[in-house]
């Protein structure tokens, strides 16, 4: 294929606006998949994606299409639609020259439409607006066209109106891809320069890298070098994704495809890496900014005997989902009094921080920094993972269970708070003036700091105007500050607020949805840090701290949050034979309390349930807490 006959594009959309359905139609129309194939939403390969109807991991497919007497090669790179995965979106976009921006003809522009548009706009890609679901009774493509003109400054005549479900007007979409998106700017005569924009791990074949070729050619048998590790490999297999891997002898500049070259290790499969031919070094491509974790949670195996299983599952999942960072912070001594020992090391590039914390009675002293993540020599009983958002965290949890059969307890999601140290002595000790606190158990005492800082995000809410009042009240209750308000048409408004991240991390989205009958949408971007009055709150069962429930809270919210946790814990614990006290405490001061239990009549039921679910219980003192109880307590906090 001559370069001028190649187009590389993505589909971006707010969740449920029809991206996967459109992808299916494009694949059918180009004969890539069979129309009769029952296997719909072909690009959504993961079980969790099919169940939740969302796309998590970007997938790629090459389509062949004839137009005006010419064959074209169209590379479709699927992207996730949810805000939590915008890292994957930008990665996919780096291999494209244009995007289809799909907007639902009934719902119109939503918060993620805006976020996705700006990612494409900043990457200077051609944007083709596609109004989908014109078959719906309430579809109003004219109104949506006007919104697109108002918000994105794209003339409404440029919108293509389709029904992905019925297959209406799909040809015009493919023709627009050919006519409005430029071919990639590449040089085949130059030596090979290929970008690794994604990678997956296969048990038998090792790392499968998805690559976009900027210059040159790569063939089976070539000797290639990773610009990052400088290691040399022999190419075992190259080919296109159709959408399954289909080997070809070569891949040429402008093409997108896969490459297998005997890379076996996590650190060899760096996303953003540049590959070149042995003896023909090139200037590496700029790569990617590493994903910045926004939500942290501890992960415990439910049963310590499942430790090995969990360890290897996390290892594999983080290889396939590079936006999860396994993280430990370096503020060792602030956790004084805890039998915690941890270490930290950095992958050389792209600045991923990997770390493991060793917990409680199993702690061992680590004297050397292991060269391999998850060193076999150590028992890891607790580790912390950084996520880009709450959905991301739930999806990760579900994938652990479904794909790797590992059962875990995830702790209260927290955000990375900071503390500014108060004395030169402390700064010297920690080698930093500002330390990041990820594990609430390591929250430094007020006497050591001048101020605490919390992360803030700039949130976008798009809603029908009738809900504006309620939404503003909700935002205010979450300590948000209004920044802007724009009408995108007569009955829709776009609100911009500065939110403390911890206020939206758990249930903001659900509240927003329920008070707007599902009509409001939300997205956010990072906006730095602000001063905050923070305290650490413990939850105790009969005087024993429940580690999973330790939280850092805003002073003014401590009572409400503490009371809420105690009440929910009381409701979700199984009946006990003896009385127990549930307390929320700040330091030695108890701020909320519930008592509970002493019901002998339930004894038989309890014994039965315990024998059924023995594995799913976590013991605190002499009280056993089922996994479900944690989830109930944590979910609605």
3-state secondary structure of 509: helix
Backbone φ and ψ of 362, nearest 5°: -90, 0
User: Shortest approach of ligand GDP to residue 164 CB, angstroms?
Assistant: 4
DSSP one-letter string for 117-185: HHHHHHTT-EEEEEEE-TTSTT--HHHHHHHHHHHH---GGGPEE-BTTTTBTHHHHHHHHHHHSPPP-
Taking the least distance from each CB to ligand GDP, the nearer of 243 and 626 is: 243
- Using an 8 Å Cβ cutoff, are 106 and 124 in contact? no
What does 7 interact with, of Mg ion, ligand GDP, none (CB < 5 to 8 A by kind)? none
Q: Which of 20, 163, 274, 323 binds Mg ion (CB under 5 A)?
A: 20
Q: Which one of the spans 19-27, 83-91, 272-280, 340-348 is the region binding Mg ion (CB under 5 A)? A: 19-27
Taking the least distance from each CB to Mg ion, the nearer of 58 and 532 is: 58
Taking the least distance from each CB to ligand GDP, the nearer of 143 and 311 is: 143
User: Shortest approach of ligand GDP to residue 44 CB, angstroms?
Assistant: 7
Residue ranges of alpha helices (H) inside 355-504 are 390-404, 424-430, 468-477, 501-504
**CA distances in angstroms from 65 to 61, 99, 211, 244, listed in the order given:** 13, 17, 22, 18
Determine if residue 78 is labeled as part of a ligand binding site.
yes
**CA distances in angstroms from 484 to 152, 232, 455, listed in the order given:** 17, 52, 20
What does 18 interact with, of ligand GDP, Mg ion, none (CB < 5 to 8 A by kind)? ligand GDP
Q: Determine if 116 is a binding residue for Mg ion (CB under 5 A).
A: no
Taking the least distance from each CB to ligand GDP, the nearer of 18 and 440 is: 18
For the record, the structure tokens of 555 come out as 């002073």
User: Shortest approach of Mg ion to residue 78 CB, angstroms?
Assistant: 8
User: Shortest approach of ligand GDP to residue 79 CB, angstroms?
Assistant: 10
Determine if residue 161 is labeled as part of a ligand binding site.
no
Q: Which of 55, 106, 411, 502 binds Mg ion (CB under 5 A)?
A: 55
Determine if residue 379 is labeled as part of a ligand binding site.
no
What does 16 interact with, of Mg ion, ligand GDP, none (CB < 5 to 8 A by kind)? ligand GDP
Determine if residue 176 is labeled as part of a ligand binding site.
no
Which residues of this protein are in contact with ligand GDP, per CB under 6 A? 13, 15-21, 53-55, 81, 132-133, 135-136, 163-165
CA 162/CA 466 separation, integer angstroms: 29
CA 341/CA 312 separation, integer angstroms: 21
DSSP state of 382: B
**In what side-by-side order are the strands of the sheet with 237-241?**
232-234, 223-226, 274-277, 193-202, 206-215, 256-260, 237-241, 245-248
Residues 6+ apart with CB under 8 A from 423: 448
**CA distances in angstroms from 321 to 4, 177, 299, listed in the order given:** 33, 29, 16
What does 634 interact with, of ligand GDP, Mg ion, none (CB < 5 to 8 A by kind)? none
What does 165 interact with, of ligand GDP, Mg ion, none (CB < 5 to 8 A by kind)? ligand GDP
Taking the least distance from each CB to ligand GDP, the nearer of 163 and 411 is: 163
Taking the least distance from each CB to ligand GDP, the nearer of 130 and 456 is: 130
Buried b / exposed e over 47-70, threshold 16 CB at 10 Å, is ebbeebebbbbbbbbbbebeeeee
Q: How many CB atoms lie within 10 A of CB 147?
A: 21
Determine if residue 18 is labeled as part of a ligand binding site.
yes
3-state secondary structure of 616: helix
Taking the least distance from each CB to Mg ion, the nearer of 20 and 322 is: 20
- Using an 8 Å Cβ cutoff, are 290 and 271 in contact? no
Taking the least distance from each CB to Mg ion, the nearer of 53 and 247 is: 53
Q: Which one of the spans 2-10, 53-61, 161-169, 302-310 is the region binding Mg ion (CB under 5 A)? A: 53-61
Closest residue to Mg ion in the complex (CB): 20
Determine if residue 138 is labeled as part of a ligand binding site.
no
What does 136 interact with, of Mg ion, ligand GDP, none (CB < 5 to 8 A by kind)? ligand GDP
Could you list the residues known to form a binding site for GTP, using ranges.
Answer: 13-20, 78-82, 132-135
Could you list the residues known to form a binding site, using ranges.
Answer: 13-20, 78-82, 132-135
Kindly list the residues in this chain that would bind Mg ion in the complex (CB under 5 A): 20, 55
């Amino acid at each position: 294929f001559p370069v001028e006959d190649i187009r590389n594009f993505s589909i971006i959309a707010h969740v449920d606006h029809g991206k996967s359905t459109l992808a299916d139609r494009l694949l059918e129309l180009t004969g890539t998949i069979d129309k009769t194939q029952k296997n719909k939403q072909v690009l959504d390969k993961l079980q969790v994606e099919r169940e939740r109807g969302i796309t998590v991991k970007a997938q790629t497919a090459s389509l062949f299409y004839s137009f005006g007497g010419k064959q074209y090669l169209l590379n479709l790179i699927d992207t996730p639609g949810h805000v939590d995965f915008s890292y994957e979106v930008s990665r996919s976009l780096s291999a494209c020259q244009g995007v289809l921006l799909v907007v639902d003809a009934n719902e119109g522009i939503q918060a993620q439409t805006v976020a996705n548009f700006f990612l494409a706009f900043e990457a200077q890609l051609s944007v083709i607006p596609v109004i989908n679901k014109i078959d719906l009774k309430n579809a109003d493509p004219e109104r949506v066209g006007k919104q697109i003109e108002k918000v994105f400054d794209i003339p409404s005549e440029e919108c293509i109106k389709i029904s992905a479900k019925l297959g209406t007007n799909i040809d015009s979409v493919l023709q627009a891809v050919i006519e409005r998106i430029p071919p990639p700017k590449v040089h085949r005569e130059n030596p090979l320069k290929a970008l690794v924009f994604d990678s997956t791990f296969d048990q038998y074949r090792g790392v499968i890298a998805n690559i976009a070729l900027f210059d040159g050619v790569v063939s089976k048998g070539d000797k290639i070098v990773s610009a990052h590790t400088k290691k040399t490999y022999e190419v075992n297999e190259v080919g296109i994704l159709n959408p399954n891997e289909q080997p070809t002898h070569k891949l040429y500049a402008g093409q997108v495809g896969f490459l297998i070259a005997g890379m076996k290790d996590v650190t060899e499969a760096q996303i953003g890496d540049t590959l070149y031919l042995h003896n023909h070094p090139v200037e590496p491509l700029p790569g990617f900014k590493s994903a910045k974790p926004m939500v942290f949670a501890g992960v415990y195996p439910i049963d310590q005997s499942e430790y090995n299983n969990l360890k290897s599952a996390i290892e594999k999942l983080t290889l396939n989902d590079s936006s999860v960072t396994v993280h430990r912070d370096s503020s060792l001594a602030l956790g004084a009094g805890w039998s915690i020992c941890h270490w930290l090391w950095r992958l050389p590039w792209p600045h991923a921080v990997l770390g493991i914390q060793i917990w409680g009675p199993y702690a061992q002293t680590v004297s050397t920094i292991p060269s391999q993540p998850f060193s076999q020599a150590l028992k890891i009983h607790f580790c912390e993972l950084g996520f880009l958002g709450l959905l991301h965290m739930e999806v990760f949890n579900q994938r652990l269970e479904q794909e790797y059969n590992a059962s875990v307890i995830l702790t209260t999601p927290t955000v990375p708070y900071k503390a500014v140290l108060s004395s030169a002595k402390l700064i010297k000790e920690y080698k930093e003036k500002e330390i990041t606190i990820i594990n609430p158990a390591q929250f430094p005492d007020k006497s050591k700091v001048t101020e605490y800082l919390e992360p803030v995000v700039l949130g976008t809410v798009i809603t029908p105007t009738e809900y504006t009042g309620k939404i503003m009240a909700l935002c205010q209750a979450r300590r948000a500050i209004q920044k802007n308000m724009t009408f995108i048409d007569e009955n829709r408004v776009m609100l911009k607020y500065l939110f403390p991240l911890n206020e939206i991390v758990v249930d903001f989205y659900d509240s927003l949805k329920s008070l707007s009958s599902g009509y409001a949408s939300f997205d956010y971007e990072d906006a730095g840090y602000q001063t905050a009055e923070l305290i650490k709150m413990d939850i105790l069962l009969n005087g024993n701290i429940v580690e999973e429930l330790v939280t850092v809270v805003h002073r003014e919210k401590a009572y409400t949050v503490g009371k809420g946790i105690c009440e929910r814990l009381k409701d979700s614990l199984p009946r006990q034979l003896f009385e127990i006290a549930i307390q929320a405490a700040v330091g030695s001061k108890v701020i909320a309390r519930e008592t509970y239990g002493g019901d002998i009549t339930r004894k038989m039921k309890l014994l039965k349930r315990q024998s059924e679910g023995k594995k799913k219980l976590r013991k605190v003192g002499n009280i056993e807490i089922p996994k479900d109880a944690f989830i109930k307590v944590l979910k609605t906090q």
